[in-house]
Amino acid sequence: MKRFILFAAALVCMGATVSAQQRTAAPAFPEYTFTTVKAAPITSIKNQASSGTCWSFSAISFLESEAIRLCNIKDEAKYPDFSEFYVVGNSYKERAEKYVRLDGKLNFSVGSGCGDALDIVKNHGIVPNEQVTGVNYGTPLPSQSELDNVLLGYVEAIAKSRKPSTAWKRGFAAIVDEYFGKASDTFTVDGKQYTAASYRDAMKINADDYIELTSFTHHPFYTWFALEVADNWRGTQSYNVPIDEMMAVLDNALENGYTACWGADVSHTGFTRDGLGILVAPQAAPAAGSDQQRWVGSDAAAAAARPVEIKEAVPTQESRQEEFDNKTMTDDHGMHIFGIAKDQNGKKYYMVKNSWGETGRYKGIWYVTEAFVKAQTLDITIHKDALTKSLKTKLGVK
């Protein structure tokens, strides 16, 4: 969701073992047994592979769960499978136009956010995945480095032009459509014909029904502002609330059958590549050894010294702001929070659907502690009906 140059921006989102921040070795974690307390339906685990499109995968997963809820779909065989790359492609086209208008003074990378996806859905609709698979270039899974470099070079050239031609937008769109695939004007789902807009409406998705929340002190609470991260190129507005209130909204949502689109920092040591997110206290992490240990830890060392419980840091409003200001908490990755679980000791975790394929101990699901979510969240997006009563009153939501 953000980073310094196009390729570097994609690495964390694609699940590679690289981060713009240095990652120390993770401590040995205990063996966990998780019990689901509450979980909303989700669609199958997807794999963004070698693309930095976590923002679209998380947003589309979120909207698929919303469609299941709103349309009261009970049969898993009937669950929707929306196209992530229909959203990505349209985002690229709109961002390219803004980039040229601003003479290149805009972040042009693969990253973005949930708010961008919602704007695309509002302006363009939704299509089934089979319409735009995103891999129209000879690989079974997304592999975008060639396309991303081509598009960046293209818009840089146009932005430098003294008088852009009337052909450049068509040319740009043709490149995107050739790599991702181009949706038909009409398509059929379950025997019914739709356009992208009518299919969105049939799925009961109204982009205006969703609210993005954040929690930082460099803006007043209970006001709207555009979060200052490079991937927020569209300027999506977030409503700023105290962190405890944001956590209360998240819990209220999950306990009442809603889910949340989650923007977070995953470069923290405690976010493992094996399905855990734990806010490891600094003193709990051992010194880095080999390069492998430096990034993902040592399986042998972990097996030899598994503790009973990991000591977590205690996040505060002040610690969140400090980390945001000094850029140790950044806009790394988008995921989908869909439930609550407890471990064998009764400790609470959030259930998170990732987009790195069926990887890790829990086959693509992460179990993330309250402390981690409280400390590492940049923003959450929820349906307005999932707000707490007090926040609905503040926002004037009925």
Does residue 136 sit within a domain?
A: yes
pLDDT at 309: 74
What DSSP string runs through 296-317?
H--HHHHHHT--SSPPBP---H
> What's the rounded Cα separation, in Å, for the pair 33 and 30?
10
Does residue 1 sit within a domain?
A: no
What residues are paired with 277 via a beta bridge? 271, 368
CA-closest candidate to residue 384, choices 70, 101, 116, 155: 70
pLDDT at 287: 46
pLDDT tens by residue, 101-111: 999 999 999 99
pLDDT at 282: 79
pLDDT at 58: 98
pLDDT at 30: 86
Does residue 59 sit within a domain?
A: yes
Question: Which domain covers residue 268, as residue numbers?
Answer: 6-395
What is each CA distance from 86 to 56, 180, 223, 231, 342, in whole angstroms? 9, 8, 32, 18, 36
- Number of independent structural domains in the chain: 1
pLDDT at 307: 59
- Say which residues have a Cβ less than 8 Å from residue 214's Cβ, sequence separation at least 6: 227, 238, 239, 240, 241, 246, 378, 379
Q: Name the pTM for this structure.
A: 0.90
Does residue 250 sit within a domain?
A: yes
Does residue 167 sit within a domain?
A: yes
pLDDT at 347: 97
Residue 391 near residue 252 (C-beta atoms within 8 A): no
Identify the CATH number of the domain in which residue 315 sits. 3.90.70.10
Residue 275 near residue 254 (C-beta atoms within 8 A): no
Does residue 154 sit within a domain?
A: yes
Does residue 43 sit within a domain?
A: yes
Under-70 pLDDT residues of the chain:
1-27, 283-308
Does residue 68 sit within a domain?
A: yes
3-state secondary structure labels for all residues of 98-137: HHHHCCCCCCCCCCCCHHHHHHHHHHHCCCECCCCCCCCC
